[in-house]
Structure 1
Amino acid sequence: MEKRRRRTFWPFLAPALVAYAVLFLGPAVASFVISFTSWDGIGTPEPVGFENYSRLLGDAVFRQAFANTLIILLVGGIAVFAVAFALTMVLREMRGRKFIRNVVFFPTIISPVVLSILWGFIFQFNGLLETGLGALGIPKGPNWLGEHLFLIIIIGLVWINLGLYVTILMAAVDQIPQYLYEECALAGATAWQRFRYVTLPLTWDVVTAAAVLWTIGSLKIFEFIYAFGGTTADMPPTNVWNSALFIYGKTFGGRNPAFEFGYASAAAVVTVLAVMVFVLLLQRITRRDPIEF
């Protein structure tokens, strides 16, 4: 029986392995090889050694894009999880929490391009935000899209991704036995103490997995920044680029595409390696013995 199971294992697994190798491993290896060449995507790649990587060190646009990627990863991640935990603890004892959770989750299933248009209506000059503040007699704020574009982008990314992580954390919190919270109430524990000593330790494994998910997802953010910060004729300003937009900008993006596939591949390799190191450090720092309950 065991041998028969092994014989039936590979026919089911092989198609997925082939698709993964062709669609993911192949392009990844090709990008690594192309990163050591100068190639416009049409002619023959010319080997240049580590020239593309040395150029990245002196490229202020890449350094800004890489820094923006880390800001989205760290600042955006902290904001997402802080708000998600706060909403989870509030919704846990609220009537109609399933409906509210669905409302919060709704932006996750909408196209980022559509959400970027809505975000633009809110923060544009004389948009919904300024009109609402004016109706309340509150002075208009700064030029959000001109002076604080990247800040608005981060807030928008937190809003878009919040529902997913609220759903994940609420699913984990729902598995915690109710009697633990009842004992906390009898002991006079505050809301922070319940979260610190009950909720967080018992959902730690889920929080760690969600943090890795956010880390990987933050690397692939593209559509919202491109659609919200750009125009119909050009890309967003370089000061709000992340690594994904930098790679696109050095290949197909902009009014006058650069078609520097070797240089863009080097940027992709550096970004992926940096995020891989961050994921490994995150997993090591957050490693704890599982708590059974």
Structure 2
Amino acid sequence: MAATRRNGPLERQRARLYWPFLAPALLVYGLLFLAPIAYSAWTSLYRWDGMGEMQWKGLDNYRVLWHDPAFATSIGNTLKILVVGGLITFLCSFLLTLLLREMRAKFFARSVLFFPNLVNAMVFGAVAGFLFSPDGPVNVVLGWLGVDAPKWLGSDNVFALIIATLIWTATGYYTTIIMAAVDQIPPYLYEAAALEGATAWQRLRHVTIPLAWDVITVCAVLWTVSSVKVFELILLFGGGNAGNPPAQTWTTAVYVYTAAFPTSSVPRLGLASAAALVSLVMVGLFTVLLRRIMRREPIQGMS
């Protein structure tokens, strides 16, 4: 009977329509994503400035990356954003979820929290340059309090300021997504937990997080992908009219940019392609690992 159903007319019709419906999406995906990746992989094996003849280098570009301290720094900074920034962002999101679920004006609060995502990164760079400049309002207030103001935009402090800005802008975004999942949790589950004497933290731990786990997993994957692409904030905070930001603040995305568009040397598109491929492999491995770590059996009986 099962074999008959699998080979029935409806199943045969579905099989005939499968590829005609799927082919356009595969074609677009291949042209816009797979083809550029393949071209980058091919370019990474050459020395090329984008204008002259391409010179075969094999794996030399990858050897240069292996021994380049700037690339090691960019990998380390990217991991700091991924791990440290991610942990603080999701901790703040969980705490805000705990507060917003009981708040009357939670929809207005969500809009306020989400607002930084609507603002262009250039605005943050301009505002930071005004607030944290040596003669800016922050240092003036600290001077009134008798505190020696640090060099906020100096090479030793600017990366911490960048991470803080990323956390501030991302917290509202992920809080909004998690709260959308929390809104689907039946209220009687919270009522039952409250009757059993569960505290707000226990309700968050044993009701909210388990039932919103699938959405939290998606948010974690989104953060992993976005952390590898952090670029404009570093360029705005650390850069300037003189050139690129200091190497202490580079991420892999900034390293690719500086290799492809240097300010005082010949472009190295082969090296930039190699660095981009390493970043792609890194984010792919982290995404797969994260999905495996966060995999759980679905919870039934929510309806």
Q: TM-score, normalised by structure 2?
A: 0.89
Give the structure 2 partner of residue 61 of structure 1: 70
Give the structure 2 partner of residue 78 of structure 1: 87
Q: Are residue 20 (structure 1) and residue 35 (structure 2) matched?
A: no
Give the structure 2 partner of residue 232 of structure 1: 241
Report the Cα offset of residue 209 of structure 1. Answer: 0.9
Contact 1:230 1:237 in 2 (8 A): yes
Give the structure 1 partner of residue 261 of structure 2: 252
Q: Are residue 278 (structure 1) and residue 286 (structure 2) matched?
A: yes
> Counterparts in 2 of 1:1-293, with a 5 A limit?
13-134=22-143, 137=145, 139-146=147-154, 147-253=156-262, 255-292=263-300, 293=302
Report the Cα offset of residue 157 of structure 1. Answer: 0.8
Report the Cα offset of residue 132 of structure 1. Answer: 4.1
Change (3 A) 1:133 1:104: farther
What RMSD over aligned residues (CA atoms) do the two structures have, in Å?
2.0
Contact 1:251 1:264 in 2 (8 A): yes
Report Cα offsets for 1:124-162 as digits up to 9, x if no partner: 223232344456x36244221113111000001111222
Report Cα offsets for 1:16-38 as digits up to 9, x if no partner: 43332222211110111111111
Contact 1:66 1:243 in 2 (8 A): yes
Report the Cα offset of residue 12 of structure 1. Answer: 5.8
Question: Identity of counterpart residues, as a percentage?
Answer: 47
Report the Cα offset of residue 194 of structure 1. Answer: 1.3
Provide the C-alpha distance between the structure 2 equivalents of 1:211 and 1:204, rounded to a whole number of angstroms.
10
Report Cα offsets for 1:184-223 as digits up to 9, x if no partner: 2222212221111111111111111110011011111111
Q: Secondary structure at the match of 1:235?
A: coil
Provide the C-alpha distance between the structure 1 equivalents of 2:191 and 2:131, rounded to a whole number of angstroms.
43
Report the Cα offset of residue 42 of structure 1. Answer: 1.4
Provide the C-alpha distance between the structure 2 equivalents of 1:124 and 1:175, rounded to a whole number of angstroms.
45
Contact 2:143 2:149 in 1 (8 A): no
- 1:142 is matched by which residue type in structure 2? P
Contact 2:40 2:273 in 1 (8 A): yes
Change (3 A) 1:45 1:95: same
Q: Secondary structure at the match of 1:250?
A: helix
- 2:151 is matched by which residue type in structure 1? N
Report Cα offsets for 1:204-243 as digits up to 9, x if no partner: 1111111001101111111111112110231110100000
Q: TM-score, normalised by structure 1?
A: 0.92
Contact 1:62 1:243 in 2 (8 A): yes
- 1:123 is matched by which residue type in structure 2? F
Provide the C-alpha distance between the structure 1 equivalents of 2:179 and 2:296, rounded to a whole number of angstroms.
21
Q: Secondary structure at the match of 1:145?
A: coil
Which structure 2 segments of 5+ residues have no match? 1-8
Contact 1:107 1:115 in 2 (8 A): no
Q: How many residues align?
A: 291
Change (3 A) 1:10 1:127: farther
- 1:18 is matched by which residue type in structure 2? L
- 2:196 is matched by which residue type in structure 1? A
